[in-house]
A = this chain, B = another copy of it.
Amino acid sequence: MRHYPSSVLNLINNLSRLPGIGKKTAERLAMHILQAPRKEAELLSNSIIKLKETVKLCSVCFSLSDGNICNICGDPARDASILCVVERPADMVAIEKSGSFLGLYHILQGALSPMDGVGPDNIRIKELILRIDRGRIKEIVLATGTNVEGEATASYIADRLKNYPVKVTRIASGVPMGGDLKYIDQVTLQRAMETRHTV
């Protein structure tokens, strides 16, 4: 690598800090940028800075937004009586892509993880309760992850909401659609069995 001029080396180093991009890939990307039209390099460079400058968290649901309120919170067609609680903006995007939810969201910005020092005050649980206090919400769908942290977060929130006049539900976990039973892990099968429903 040291055989490249320093401006090429700099870009290779900065690119290889991105997740999943090693030195070899960074070298290939830098060579591409070098040969690409200047316009394309400028667009890429500007969009990185613009992202950091313009993306804020929606003041209502804490998802990513270019403005003060995100597109979903600002959409009068969405059902404001049902709230889906997720850990991260990417989780919200995944649910939106599935088209299976027409209510509003609440993005916690993380999950409880005592090992990493993340307690209830470090994620947006207080703000969730404030939204419920305002009284329009009838159902909370807990869609945090199905790993230890996500499960603990869902349990904690369900517990905190015990005395509130809202229905608290959890997204189902079980055998993925199209999944072959013999390849599914035991914990998932146990959960699928426990949460079986009448047809």
- In whole angstroms, what is the CA distance A117 to B14 when docked? 36
A42: B residues at CB distance < 8 A: 49, 52
| Chain A, 18-41, CB within 8 A of any chain B CB | 18-21, 25, 27-34, 38, 40-41
The residue in chain B whose Cβ has the minimal distance to the Cβ of A94 is: B3
- In whole angstroms, what is the CA distance A3 to B105 when docked? 13
- In whole angstroms, what is the CA distance A25 to B8 when docked? 23
* Copies of this chain held together in the complex: 2
Contact across chains for A51 and B8 when beta carbons are under 8 A apart: yes
A100: B residues at CB distance < 8 A: none
Chain B binder among A64-72, A132-140, A174-182 = A64-72
A3: B residues at CB distance < 8 A: 71-72, 92-93, 96-97
A16 → chain B closest CB, angstroms:
11
Contact across chains for A50 and B18 when beta carbons are under 8 A apart: no
Contact across chains for A55 and B5 when beta carbons are under 8 A apart: yes
With A3-B92, A31-B89 known, 7 other A-B pairs at CB within 8 A are A1-B93, A3-B96, A4-B64, A15-B44, A17-B40, A33-B51, A34-B52
10 example contacts (A-B, Cβ-Cβ < 8 A) are as follows A6-B66, A7-B51, A7-B55, A14-B43, A14-B47, A15-B44, A17-B40, A19-B32, A31-B90, A41-B49
